[in-house]
Amino acid sequence: MVMLCLCVFGILCYGTLIGLVYYWEINVPEPAGYDCMIVLGAQVLPSGEPSVELGRRLDKAMEYYDKNPCYVVVAGGQGGKEPAAEGDVMREVLLSRGYPQNDIISENQSKDTKENLRFSWEILQDLGCTNPMIITSDYHLPRALWIARDEGIIAQGAGSLCRPEWNFWLRNHMREALSWVKYWGIKYLGLPL
């Protein structure tokens, strides 16, 4: 009986956390006054093409660039099964769509969100930028903004919609809820996760 109660309690907590992830993502304020962008990477397919999620992040970046042209750092190293670094692939996509070469900068050494933000912000500060905007998937944006703050980066953000099919939406939000647990465990408890 105790095990059953613990399982039910755990499921309720996990469900609540998934709900919080969704609540936080839909309550991020609309960005304004940004002078640069950091676009966080996502999977590059074996063909060298951006995944659907990465393509949506690039679409969101183009939407905001068209409103306010500025420096854009596309960030992400090369994962184990990726044929090229995420930052390099994103840069090539944006250049192929006619965006100016001098405004699109690839950061291709980072291995996680923390490094994406740190390395990108170093590049942008060297260019004189002061008000960054982070572009990532909607469910990932609130945690990315928290990580940015941990790195001393005061940023605003915009999230691209994740795939609307229920199985993708649920999987992404379930994974993000666990990522929050990991983030809090490292930050507040010093756990070696």
Amino acid at residue number 51: S
Q: What's residue 193's pLDDT?
A: 58
Each residue of 16-68: pLDDT tens digit? 888 888 888 899 999 999 999 999 999 999 999 999 999 999 999 999 999 99
Phi-psi region of 152 (alpha: psi -120 to 50; beta: other; left: phi over 0): left
Question: Can you give the pTM of this predicted structure?
Answer: 0.91
- On the CB side of 75, CA atoms within 13 Å amount to 26
Low-confidence ranges of the chain (pLDDT < 50): none
Tokens coding 55:
């393509």
The C-alpha R_g of the chain, in whole angstroms, comes to 17
113 and 144 Cβ atoms separated by less than 8 Å:
yes
- On the CB side of 120, CA atoms within 13 Å amount to 36
Q: What's residue 4's pLDDT?
A: 77
CA distances from 42 to 3, 29, 51, 67, 167 (A): 38, 23, 7, 24, 18
Supply angle C-alpha 115, 78, 31, rounded to 5: 50
- Spell out the domains of the chain, with CATH numbers in brackets: 37-143 (3.40.50.620)
Task: Quickly tell me which residue has 């660039």 as its tokens.
Answer: 65
Q: What is the DSSP string of 35-64?
A: SEEEEEP-PBPTTSPBPHHHHHHHHHHHHH
Q: How many CB atoms lie within 10 A of CB 46?
A: 9
